[in-house]
Structure 1
Amino acid sequence: VFSWICSLLRLYTRFVILHTPGWDDIFIILTMLSTATGSIVLCICSFGLGESIYKMTLPEIEAFMEVLYIANATYPLSATLIKLALLFQYLRVFNTKSRYRVFCKCMIAITVTWGMIFIALRWFPCYPVAAYWNFSIKGARCWGFGSRDPLPIMRVFVGQAISTAVLDLIVFAIPVPLCFKSDTPRKTRLCLLGLFVLGLLAILCAILRTVYVVTQTTAHTFQFDPGWYDPTTAGLACLEVHLAAVCAALPVFWPVIATTWGRIFVTTEVSVTRESGRFQLKSNRDVELDSTSSHRNLTLPDQFQESQSLEGWEPFVGDETTGLGENETVVEAPAVAKRSGKVRGPLGYR
């Protein structure tokens, strides 16, 4: 949910506020659709996840394997799309003749090749494809993720996980050299390092998936049981893609939120410099008001240095018959941004 919120904020910033959509935004939209498909399919599966297939009936196993096929098919697609979104986002940052831009284009070609290979292995694990979940089809040929032998599945799975971690590390490390440039602001450096750390968490998910599969495969009790082993690997895979999506979204919408956030907490500080008046009450007693003067020297940013001076009479004029009197007020109201939201007057903060 958090990655979806970040992605929607990114798209709103690009399409509505900045009016500068690009290919990276298209890949973000496709990533959202792909991850949503996999998540919905897993959620509607009312049985199988976390349960050994050896405790299910044959119809239940086939129904579960069909759902698992759709969910697993979305992972390499989502992983490829989010990498492309990050790389195309880098192309918008680096100069046309920059060597980083050339490197990004090379990584785009490598990522597309990697994606096509593992998407094909996930989408076409058997011939015919229905043999992946329909065990009654005779003469079917299965390979890779569709194999009934756990060892070939482990080899392909480990190859996918390791290559994913390596690609993620390279993609997330591309903007890191900007941190070591002398003209890079300190705040920008901290933001880049923060995003890199978040990317390392996504890489950690890929490493944990690899360790989990290798550990289970080397155990003597390991056997073909996707219902029992897949929930852990599927959860780590989803977390990996969603963390990468957050990394792709934060640099786009966060500066806009940070700028707008300061405007939300803007108040007006009122400094009363002179206030005098004479009122005649109906009891024929004269009451004279005279306030002390106050003055404050404020040093404000240029965008907040706006001073207003109001001088005038109250909308009533009194005389001896009505019992109403005169009131004159001179107010200086510079618009300032204050964190506390309080206004300081002659009597203190209120």
Structure 2
Amino acid sequence: MASEALILEMLMNPPPNLHEPLPLSNRRATIYGASITFMIITWFAVALRLYARIKLVRKPGWDDILVVVSSMLNTAATICVLFAVESGMGQHFLTLVPKQQTQYIKTFYIANGIYVTNTAVIKVSLLLQYLRIFQAGTMRWICLSLVVMITAWGFAYGFMAWVPCFPVHAYWNRLQTPNARCYAYGFDSVPSFIVTFETHTATNMTFDLAVFLTPMALFKQKSMRRKSMLALVGLFLFGGVVVLTSVWRLYTIVNNKAATYPYIDFTWWTPISVILSCLEIDLAIVCASMPIFWPVLEKSLTHIFVTYEVRITEHRRLPENGEYELERADAESTRRSGSLKSGSGNSEDGLTITRTQTRNGTVDPFMHYKDQYVIEQVDPLATNHGVETNVETEPKKKWNF
């Protein structure tokens, strides 16, 4: 349960209406719908990434391992968010019973620790992915420098999130540990609590921007194809959505001063920031996986929505006298051909059967099939057919960057 001093401060400045209608961001359906939906999309993207790297390319790396770790942490954080809703997130803190208050603070402690850790893990994963591209030169050193800085940043804020008090359980049970020492996320004071959240969110946004702008050097390659250029632009636009989500989260934290303004109410002001935290990590994981699985998905779509070019060629044979058989229309040819076609107008009149007469005047009905050219057209085992159909397709080229 929160400390008596904190509860007293809340009672001195309570919400104007403890039973006011819930904002859209505070409703259970909104929190459940946003967090669960994007978590499923994230795992789908990660599954495609692993399939491409392990099954097709057969070159998994540390970046893939960290993406899986990030997805697992993200799933754990999402579960904590769902438990937090059941513990009262979205409601006014003063309307909760002491057991709910304690349960909410425990759940928020775990979710916040996971989020702070995960913001560093996913960025390092992206940078390790860049190192596959930048094998040498200045860009490789920039990526390595960012890996070191983000790792140190993650450890620093991660320690403050996971160990906000000495002992740790004082974070959610101040009454049994009145002499506990708390700092930063431990809410030792309102100003330090606000500064901790604001500085982490601001630096997180800055590192997001740096990570997503790092591959800009690829645009300097004059040999880059137009298709690869458009793909890279699309990836940056998607990364821009991640940065904008981080900016939006920073705005919400500054606006309500980490759930302490205009009055202290952790469960009431928190939902919008929590939803944006989930979306930020979800989108970052999808963005990290897109360059890996998209070429495979694009190729599959090509097989589904493919347009085939059909080329039909016709070979005409020459008789012994050198004339085209189909163009012979002299009287001798007409006399030697017996046609069953008549002008009676029946439906059978449209069917014409050509029979070859022998010297004695009789008609051999099977003479037509003694012709080598005809045999080649009807015999499935024969070669050199006169009519050929060639279906030519070319798979779409993969992204190159």
Same fold (TM over 0.5): yes
Partner of 1:108: 147
Partner residue of 1:40 out of 79, 82, 95: 79
Q: 1:124 aligns with which of 159, 163, 179?
A: 163
CA shift for structure 1 position 337: 4.1
Residues 66-98 of structure 1 deviation map (CA, whole Å, 9 limit, x = unaligned)? 1111111111121111101110001100123x1
SS of 1:333's partner is strand
Contact 2:170–2:176 (Cα < 8 Å) also in 1? yes
The verdict on how the C-alpha distance between 1:220 and 1:226 changes in structure 2, with shifts beyond 3 A counting, is: closer
Asked if the contact 2:120/2:154 (under 8 Å) is kept, the reply is yes
Task: State the shift of 1:132 in Å.
Answer: 1.3
Counterpart-to-counterpart distance in 2, 1:227 and 1:159: 21
Whole-angstrom distance in 2 between the partners of 1:286 and 1:51: 84
Following the alignment from structure 1 to structure 2, what is the Cα–Cα distance between the partners of residues 227 and 185? 51
Q: Read off the aligned partner of 2:160 and give its amino acid letter.
A: L
Gaps of 5+ in 2: 1-39, 317-325, 327-337, 341-347, 355-374, 396-401
Q: 1:106: Cα distance to partner?
A: 0.7
Contact 1:86 1:171 in 2 (8 A): yes
**43-52 vs 265-274, greater mean Cα deviation:** 265-274
Letter in 1 for 2:148: A
The range that moved more, 179-188 or 35-44, is 179-188
Cα distance change on mapping 1:311 and 1:65 into 2, 3 Å: farther
Does the 8 A contact of 1:62 with 1:135 survive in 2? no
1:136 alignment partner in structure 2: 175
Instruction: Say if 2:372 is the partner of 1:333.
Output: no
**AA aligned opposite 1:119:** G
Cα deviation, residue 224, structure 1: 3.2
The amino acid of 1:194's aligned partner reads: G
Measured in 1, the distance between the counterparts of 2:258 and 2:87 equals 27
Distance 1:30 1:130 in 2: 26
Compared with structure 1, are the counterparts of its residues 186 and 134 closer, same or farther at alpha carbon in structure 2 (3 Å cutoff)?
Answer: same
Give secondary structure in 1 for the equivalent of 2:79. helix
Whole-Å separation in 2 of the counterparts to 1:269 and 1:279? 35
3-state secondary structure, aligned to 2:89: coil
Q: Does 1:31 align with 2:57?
A: no
Largest Rg, 1 or 2: 2
Task: Say whether the 8 Å CA contact 1:266–1:336 is kept in structure 2.
Answer: no
Question: Does residue 313 in structure 1 map to residue 378 in structure 2?
Answer: yes
User: CA separation in 2, counterparts of 1:123 and 1:279?
Assistant: 97
Bigger RCO of structures 1 and 2 (CA < 8 A, at least 6 apart): 2
Provide the residue aligned with 1:151 in structure 2. 191
Q: Secondary structure at the match of 1:205?
A: helix
Partner amino acid, structure 2, of 1:251: P
Secondary structure at the aligned position of 2:352 is classed as strand
Mapping for residues 243-282 of structure 1, pairs under 5 Å: 243-264=283-304, 265=306, 269=310, 271=312, 273=314
Flag the structure with higher strand content: 1
Q: 1:285 to 1:241 in 2, by over 3 A?
A: closer
Query: Following TM superposition, by how much is the alpha carbon of 1:313 offset from its aligned partner in structure 2, in angstroms?
Result: 2.7
What is the CA distance between 1:152 and its match in structure 2? 1.6
With 172-181 and 148-157 compared, the bigger mean Cα shift is at 148-157
Q: Where does residue 318 of structure 1 map in the other structure?
A: none
Render the CA deviation track for 1:282-319: whole Å, top value 9, x for unaligned.
xx9993279xxxxxxxxxxxxxxxxxxx944368xxxx
SS at match of 1:25: helix
- 1:14-25 correspondence runs (5 A): 14-25=53-64
Counterpart CA distance in 1 for 2:48 and 2:378 is 49
Q: Which of 264, 270, 276 pairs up with 1:236?
A: 276
User: In the aligned structure 2, how far is the partner of 1:7 from the partner of 1:225?
Assistant: 36
Q: What is the aligned partner in structure 1 of residue 319 from structure 2?
A: none
Tell whether 2:351 aligns with 1:287.
yes
Contact 2:259–2:265 under 8 Å retained in 1: no
Q: Give, as a single letter, the amino acid of the residue that structure 2 aligns with 1:335.
A: V
Change (3 A) 1:110 1:279: farther
Residue of structure 1 equivalent to 2:212: 172
Residue aligned with 2:351, SS? strand
1:8 to 31, 47, 71: 47
Indicate how the Cα distance of structure 1 residues 22 and 218 shifts in structure 2: closer, same or farther if over 3 A, else same.
Answer: closer
C-alpha distance 219-236 of structure 1, shift in aligned 2 (>3 A): closer
The superposition leaves residues 164-186 of structure 1 with CA deviations (integer Å, 9 ceiling, x where unpaired) of 01111111111112113322222
In the alignment, residue 336 of structure 1 is paired with which amino acid?
Answer: E
- The structure that is helix-richer by fraction is 2
Instruction: Give the TM-score normalised by the residue count of structure 1.
Output: 0.78
Q: Conserved in 2, the CA contact under 8 Å of 1:66 and 1:133?
A: yes
- Which of 117, 135, 138 is the equivalent residue of 1:99? 138
Confirm or deny: 8 A CA contact 2:260 2:266 kept in the other structure: no
**Matching residue within 100, 106, 110 for 1:70:** 110
Deviation at 1:151, TM superposition (A): 2.3
Amino acid at match of 1:333: T
Which whole-Å deviations, capped at 9, do the CAs of 1:213-263 have from their partners, x for residues lacking one?
222239995333221122111111111111211211111111222233323
Q: TM-score, normalised by structure 2?
A: 0.68
What's 2:370 paired with?
Answer: none
AA at the equivalent of 2:297: I
